Amino acid sequence: TDSADALASWSNTGNNVDVCAPGVNILTTARGGGYGYGTGTSFSAPLVAGVAALVVSANPSLTGAQVRDILKQSADDLGSPGWDPSYGWGRINADKAVLAATGATPTDTTPPASTIAAPLAGGTVSGVATIAVTATDDVGVTKVECYINGALAGSSAIAPATFPWDTAAYANGSYTLQARAYDAAGNVGASATVSVSVQNGVPDLTAPTAQVTSPANGSTVTGVANIDVSAVDNVGVTKVECYINGTLVGTSPTAPATFPWNTATYANGSYTLQARASDAAGNVGASATVSVSVQNPVADTVAPAVRITSPTNGVTVGKSTKVYVLATDNVGVTRVDLLVDGKFYATSALAAPVFSWTTSKLSRGSHTLQAVAYDAAGNTTRSTVVTIKK
Fold of 209-294: Immunoglobulin-like (2.60.40)
In the predicted model, what is the mean pLDDT of residues 210-239? 97
Output the pLDDT for position 362. Answer: 86
Fold of 113-198: Immunoglobulin-like (2.60.40)
In the predicted model, what is the mean pLDDT of residues 111-129? 95
In the predicted model, what is the mean pLDDT of residues 225-254? 97
Query: What percentage of the chain carries pLDDT values higher than 90?
Result: 76
Q: How much is the pTM?
A: 0.45
351 — pLDDT class (breaks 50, 70, 90): very high
Q: For 125-151, what is each residue's pLDDT tens digit?
A: 999 999 999 999 988 999 999 999 999
Report the distance separating Cα 282 and Cα 302, nearest Å.
Answer: 53
Output the pLDDT for position 138. Answer: 84
Residues of the chain with CATH 2.60.40.10: 113-198, 209-294, 305-389
Torsional class of 387: left (φ above 0), alpha (ψ -120 to 50), beta (otherwise): beta
For domain 305-389, give the CATH number.
Answer: 2.60.40.10
Q: State whether the Cα torsion 169-175-181-182 is positive or negative.
A: negative
Q: For 148-186, what is each residue's pLDDT tens digit?
A: 999 999 999 999 999 999 999 999 999 999 999 999 999
